[in-house]
Amino acid sequence: MHETDLDIIQRIRAGDRKAFAQLVARHKEKSMALAVRMLRDRRDAEEALQDAFVRAFQALPRFEGRSAFSTWLYRIVFNVCSSALERKGLSTVSLNPTPDEGELPIDPPTSDLPPDLQLESAEAQRVVLEEVERLPEAYGTTFTLFAVQELSYDEIVDVTGVPLGTVKARLFRARMMLREAVGRRLSLETKAFSKEDAA
């Protein structure tokens, strides 16, 4: 029988402190993706993630289960990474919408990537991932929470503190920017391959 996060948390609270390693293993990969996206440096992301897991362990007695454990954890990761950016004097993800955000009525995609970005080849997937890394901070982080962490709109609101309308607007714009950037990249690379074949 598959053990849920809450089952593991109950074991930890009952004294099985080693069970926390199961939670870490279960959520480390997606937490790292968020940390790397925000900090843009794997070493910094690893340090931030260690800090986040320590904080999560210490705060676990206060976890009430009103949201999924993963959402609660990503909020801690988000806060730790935001603090790390502020210490470096770098801009953190803005929690305030820009004047034109939050006004788009169009919902973002409901799958991990828009249909025209759901590409089969490893090369195309590499291009998509590289372009996600190039997205402006607010859009890239929001898109990562949606596509990688697979959070709902409401969960992203909980993690980032950004209004729901702004979350939807940022996801929509991230999708548009990705479609344009990936299309441009693939077009250029296809032309380059065609020239090589013709040579």
* pLDDT of amino acid 49: 95
Whether residues 122 and 182 fall in one domain: yes
Q: Please choose, from the candidates 136, 170, 140, the residue with its C-alpha nearest in 3D space to the C-alpha of residue 153.
A: 170
Whether residues 128 and 70 fall in one domain: no
Q: Of all residues in the chain, what percent carry a pLDDT higher than 90?
A: 41
pLDDT digits (tens, 9 = 90+) for 52-98: 999 999 999 999 888 899 999 999 999 999 898 888 776 555 444 44
Q: Is residue 105 part of a domain?
A: no
Q: Is residue 110 part of a domain?
A: no
pLDDT digits (tens, 9 = 90+) for 153-187: 999 999 998 899 999 999 999 989 888 888 887 77
Residue holding tokens 């009430």? Answer: 64
Whether residues 129 and 183 fall in one domain: yes
Contact 132, 144 (CB under 8 A): yes
Query: Which tokens is 49 given?
Result: 């993630």
Q: Is residue 109 part of a domain?
A: no
Residues 115-123: contacts with CB within 8 Å, 24+ apart? 116/179, 116/183, 117/178, 117/179, 117/182, 123/189
pLDDT digits (tens, 9 = 90+) for 93-131: 544 444 444 433 334 333 444 444 444 456 666 777 788
Domain that holds residue 25: 5-87
Say which residues have a Cβ less than 8 Å from residue 21's Cβ, sequence separation at least 6: none
Q: What is the mean pLDDT of the chain?
A: 80
CA distance 66 to 85: 29
* pLDDT of amino acid 102: 42
Whether residues 120 and 83 fall in one domain: no
Total domains in the chain come to 2
Q: Is residue 38 part of a domain?
A: yes
Query: Where among 67, 87, 107 does a domain terminate?
Result: 87
Say which residues have a Cβ less than 8 Å from residue 162's Cβ, sequence separation at least 6: 95, 97, 142, 156, 170
